[in-house]
Structure 1
Amino acid sequence: MKFLPSQLLFFFQNKTTRKNLTLLAKFIAFILTIVFLYSLLFHKLMLYEGREYSWVTGLYWTLTVMSTLGFGDITFSTDLGLLFSIVVLSSGVILLLIMLPFTFIQFFYSPWLEAQSKSRTPRELPENTSGHIIITSLDPITEKLVAKLRKRDFQYVLVVAELQQAAELYDAGYRVVVGEPDDPETYHRLRVKKAALVVATSDDMINTSVAFTVRETSPNVSIVTSANHENSLDILQFPGNIHVFQFARMLGHALGNRTIGLGRPVNFVISSDKLHVAEIPAIQTRLCGKNLIDIGMREKTGVTVVGLWEKGMFHLPQPETVISATTMLLLAGTERQLGKFEDMYAIIEGMHAKDAPVLVLGGGRVGVAVVETLEEHGISYRVVEKRAVLTEDKGERYIQGDAADIKVLERAGVMEARTIIITTHNDAMNIYLAFYCRQLRPQVQIISRATNERSVAKLHMAGADLVLSYASMGANSIINVLKSDEISMFTEGLNIFRRPMPPSLVGKNLVASHIRQRTGCSVIAIKSPGDIIVGPDPLVPLKKNEELILIGTTEAEQAFLDLF
């Protein structure tokens, strides 16, 4: 009921609504006139038959007949009276049962529902709004971004042009404002001058329009846009103070960088200051069959095992954990410490046949970016692409055909490949290919992209060792514009993030804090002013001006945020 006054105000201020109500009133007046005439004729005909009734009785008879109730307590006895009853009944069916409901719905009920939607879907933000993020379109990247912003208590608003879509998103829990993304007035109403960021992730032309519209309204606010084509970069960067990301290319490079044996035994995944996080398959080390406590890796090298991947499942390390041949080790340390780990434990000779190629399934934008990374490191590759237009004049490294065809895969060298990277934009196809390739090559490394988060678990079940998504990578890149190095995605569902020291942990050490046991996150480093301690001593007290750098699944990260 608290929205009723605003709904009524909007309803009656609309010119179209007032016109519709006038038409509805005229139609109702026409029906009342017909009812009056029928009541008058009822009296005349009853007098003709020698009977007399009151005016109320005449109105009663007319309404019961026109509404088809026809109680039968008052009837005509002459043919003229019966013919009159038929006319009243027929016109009542048309006017009251057919025309009136449709006229009411068209001229009153539908506009009323529209007024309700418009009144509860705002068109501007409060004047005191500041530090918010304006999102100009909803897609997989911004859906993921909204979820991350909510977790971190960032204010955001989604601009939607169509009222119906805005109402649906509002009902789904999004913070929505109705407005055209290319209208300067929209951004005035969104308090863009006090916003922290504007995000545009549509196609290049729409993003360009949004960027110039925002810059017309506010010369200083930061803008993040996506770019699908190289020739759009200069245009998108022209307005100034703008961050342009080629998310598809970024994803391709990230997939390519996860190839086993890319330059050195350990694969550096994330590097920040002195902190490096790397991965290495246990089969490429001398650690298979040993448990962590017996290895004494930290004492010998300074490297900390921060996690273990086992067939797509992430596990926190325990002292008694036994390393198997299918385990992927996640290591944290300085570059010198990781180099020492390689010297002591890595098996370098015979890791791969010298000419063993990487098989890339999909030759679109992501696949091309994978190839760029492989060429940079001098690694042989084969690309399988179904569309002939993408394989023309590309040489023998590009094989035109369906990756689901065993003959095409064999021609591409699937049985000799060191790594298979699946890059198609169709998650169902990626799941199929991951399972198919796993059956053909049980020991090969399989890396896949995902579009939807719900596909990640399925891809791991199908046989993918690592899964990265366009949406998560894009959302994390945007988050890092808001707060540099705030979060990095190790792989889909596993993040490395930093948080200021919670007051409840100041003075305690890592052993007493029980962070791992209570949240599932593992502290991999502590950053203090001017320094970063990788693999911190668990017995040293934590200080107020320090930051924790942690690794954990999405659920573990949320548990840490909820608890601290």
Structure 2
Amino acid sequence: MKFLPSQLAYLLEDTETKQNMAALGRFVALLAASIGLFSVLFHVIMVYEGQEHSWLTGLYWTMTVMSTLGFGDITFRSDLGRGFSIIVLVYGVVMLLIVAPFTFIRFFYAPWLEAQIHMRAPRKVSDDMNDHVVICAHDLIAQGLITRLNELSIQYVVIEPDPAAAAQMHSDGVNVVTGRRDARSTYEAVRVEDARIVIANLGDAENSNIILTAREAAADVRIVAFADAIDSIDVLELAGATSVIPLKQRLGEQLASRVTAGMQTAHRIGEYEDLVIAEFPIHGTSLVGQSIRSTNLRQLTGLNIVGVWERGQLNPAGPDTILHEHSVPVVVGTEEQITELDALFVIYLDFDTPVLVIGGGTVGRAVSRSLRDRGASVTILDSNRNLQNELSSHADHVIIGDAANLQSVKAAGIDEAHSVVLTTNDDATNVFLAVYCRGLSEDAHIVSRISHDWNLEAIHRAGADFALSRASLAIQTLTSLILDQELILVGEGTELFVEPIPEHLIGTLLSASGIGADAGLNVIGIRTDGDLIANPPATTELVAGAELVMLGTAEQRQRFVSMKPR
């Protein structure tokens, strides 16, 4: 009952509710007037028949007949009276049994329930919340980010303007506050002045409004905004954003970095302290067909291969692992060692390798720009004829046609292309095109964009060698900003983890720990007493207080956390 005053206040303040209550009042007035009229007519007809009853009896008769109770203790003797009884009975059935329940539910009970739901949505965070993340919309990116924040034990709050949606999110376990995104009071309610970061994850226009409002409530808070258009970056920065992330542009650049074309250098995934994590395609090099042991890469450069990408799967790298034509080894070492790797394979540079980009949207154009900066020849295939002139400035060749049409794909150079990039924003289309392109060119290196991470396995089964989603890129980028770390984007679903050594593994050798065999994680470093040991050998003893630097998926990390003594 403590929410009763708040619910009544909501009912009385809402314009639609006021209209509903007025309609309900009119119905009650009509019903009361009808009952009064029937009671008067009851007396008139009874006097006509020579009977006398009190006014209370008239009201009693009217109510029993209209409600169809009809006790039968008071009846008319004439046809006029019985006809009148039929009229009152039919009117009562319609008004009390049909119209009254509908009117009550529609104009009172439903708004009352809505008020209860609205009042269940939190209006503010707890007074002790600080160093939290404020998320301005609960979309696909926010859902994945919340999962990551929970794993990191970082507090967060989502702003949801719809109280009903906020109440449902609250019941689902999401930490949410309802309020207008363009109201300063909302940001004060989420304690934005004590927040670690604010994430504006809507459209460009809405994000600019969010930035201005949040900046008004907290002048020093960090604000990260997504930008759909490149031209919006300057506007969002002028509005007060600390960092602006053009997601589609970044997605295109990441997809292009996985393409085997142009200048074949190692792709730096990221850095962790003094460690540089990189990957390099071996397509067309002497490493194809060799085992990792026979490559002598560690002796030549000092680098250690910690994993190998095979059709979207990051597999552990053993000495006898065979490298295939489209294998992409992941190496860990220093910047100098990565530079030595680039110099080692400089003779395999191929500037004339054509790349086929299917889809000429924002992502496709970003892929093309990035590839041309590396000296690659790019052909864009798109079905929209209106884009032909615009695409001509982004690619060496533009083909207008349907990618599912054999003649169009042949004209775009599928037979000569060493790499194909699928950039449409529909997963089903990309899966279809991956199957089609793999059937036409068995040796092509296929890189694909996906919208939903649950389609990752499907796109790899279809033939794609690498896939990346906009949501995954956004989540990992935001996580790196929240933790003040450099972005390390290994691949879809694969991340870098730093975990303390569990008690039951202290004193055991790395080879006997089961971290790789049971959890599936790749240990790329061990930090002990502030020093980082890169590429620790299998004979390394795990000591108390040390931390493991590992590559793997969230599922593999969970298996590691849940590991029991062997």
Report if aligned partners of 2:192, 2:218 keep a CA contact under 8 Å in 1: yes
Structural mapping, 1:113-512, within 5 Å: 113-238=113-238, 242-264=242-264, 266-281=266-281, 284=284, 286=286, 302-318=302-318, 321-325=321-325, 327-337=327-337, 349=348, 355-392=352-389, 394=392, 397-485=397-485, 488-500=488-500, 508-512=508-512
1:329 shift after superposition? 2.9
The secondary structure found in structure 2 opposite 1:230 is coil
C-alpha distance in structure 1 between counterparts of 2:65 and 2:2, whole Å: 39
What amino acid does structure 1 have at the position aligned with 2:191?
R
Report if aligned partners of 1:233, 1:244 keep a CA contact under 8 Å in 2: yes
C-alpha distance in structure 2 between counterparts of 1:347 and 1:240, whole Å: 44
Report if aligned partners of 1:285, 1:347 keep a CA contact under 8 Å in 2: no
Query: Given the two structures, how large is their TM-score scaled by the length of structure 2?
Result: 0.86
Are the structure 2 counterparts of residues 70 and 410 from structure 1 closer, same or farther at C-alpha, using a change threshold of 3 Å? Answer: farther
1:184 shift after superposition? 1.1
1:563 shift after superposition? 5.7
C-alpha distance in structure 2 between counterparts of 1:461 and 1:161, whole Å: 41
**Residue 2 (structure 2) pairs with residue 5 (structure 1):** yes
Q: Residues 286-337 of structure 1: CA distance to partner in whole angstroms, max 9, x if unpaired?
A: 5555655777765776433333333333333456655455544333333455
C-alpha distance in structure 2 between counterparts of 1:59 and 1:314, whole Å: 84
Q: Residues 360-393 of structure 1: CA distance to partner in whole angstroms, max 9, x if unpaired?
A: 1122221222122212211111112333343316
1:130 shift after superposition? 0.8
Q: Residues 52-90 of structure 1: CA distance to partner in whole angstroms, max 9, x if unpaired?
A: 999998767544532356687876442112211122123
Q: Residues 4-29 of structure 1: CA distance to partner in whole angstroms, max 9, x if unpaired?
A: 532x2212223247956677467546
Are the structure 2 counterparts of residues 501 and 240 from structure 1 closer, same or farther at C-alpha, using a change threshold of 3 Å? Answer: farther
Are the structure 2 counterparts of residues 398 and 290 from structure 1 closer, same or farther at C-alpha, using a change threshold of 3 Å? Answer: closer
Report if aligned partners of 1:364, 1:390 keep a CA contact under 8 Å in 2: no
The secondary structure found in structure 2 opposite 1:399 is strand
Q: Which runs of 5+ in 1 are unaligned?
A: none
C-alpha distance in structure 2 between counterparts of 1:329 and 1:28, whole Å: 78
Q: Which residue of 1 aligns with 2:514?
A: 514
Are the structure 2 counterparts of residues 66 and 336 from structure 1 closer, same or farther at C-alpha, using a change threshold of 3 Å? Answer: same
Report if aligned partners of 1:278, 1:330 keep a CA contact under 8 Å in 2: yes
1:421 shift after superposition? 0.9
Query: Given the two structures, how large is their TM-score scaled by the length of structure 1?
Result: 0.86
Q: Which runs of 5+ in 2 are unaligned?
A: none
C-alpha distance in structure 2 between counterparts of 1:60 and 1:299, whole Å: 105
Q: Residues 103-147 of structure 1: CA distance to partner in whole angstroms, max 9, x if unpaired?
A: 212332122122112111011112221111111123333333223
The secondary structure found in structure 1 opposite 2:115 is helix
Q: Residues 202-261 of structure 1: CA distance to partner in whole angstroms, max 9, x if unpaired?
A: 222222221121111111110001223333333322355711111111111111111115
C-alpha distance in structure 1 between counterparts of 2:326 and 2:238, whole Å: 49
1:156 shift after superposition? 1.4
1:198 shift after superposition? 0.6
Are the structure 2 counterparts of residues 441 and 71 from structure 1 closer, same or farther at C-alpha, using a change threshold of 3 Å? Answer: farther
The secondary structure found in structure 1 opposite 2:490 is strand
Report if aligned partners of 1:487, 1:497 keep a CA contact under 8 Å in 2: no
C-alpha distance in structure 1 between counterparts of 2:172 and 2:387, whole Å: 40
Report if aligned partners of 1:311, 1:460 keep a CA contact under 8 Å in 2: yes
Report if aligned partners of 2:312, 2:464 keep a CA contact under 8 Å in 1: yes
Q: Which residue of 2 aligns with 1:96?
A: 96
Q: Which residue of 2 aligns with 1:549?
A: 549
Between 262-271 and 173-182, the greater mean CA deviation after superposition? 262-271
1:397 shift after superposition? 2.0
What amino acid does structure 2 have at the position aligned with 1:11?
Q
Report if aligned partners of 1:383, 1:399 keep a CA contact under 8 Å in 2: yes
Q: Residues 163-196 of structure 1: CA distance to partner in whole angstroms, max 9, x if unpaired?
A: 3333343344432211111111111111111111
Report if aligned partners of 1:316, 1:522 keep a CA contact under 8 Å in 2: yes
C-alpha distance in structure 2 between counterparts of 1:322 and 1:231, whole Å: 46
Report if aligned partners of 1:260, 1:267 keep a CA contact under 8 Å in 2: no
The secondary structure found in structure 1 opposite 2:231 is helix
Report if aligned partners of 1:358, 1:420 keep a CA contact under 8 Å in 2: yes
Are the structure 2 counterparts of residues 450 and 61 from structure 1 closer, same or farther at C-alpha, using a change threshold of 3 Å? Answer: same
The secondary structure found in structure 1 opposite 2:517 is helix
Residue identity (%):
37
1:95 shift after superposition? 2.1
- Give RMSD over aligned pairs: 3.5
The secondary structure found in structure 2 opposite 1:485 is coil
Report if aligned partners of 2:264, 2:281 keep a CA contact under 8 Å in 1: no
1:491 shift after superposition? 1.5
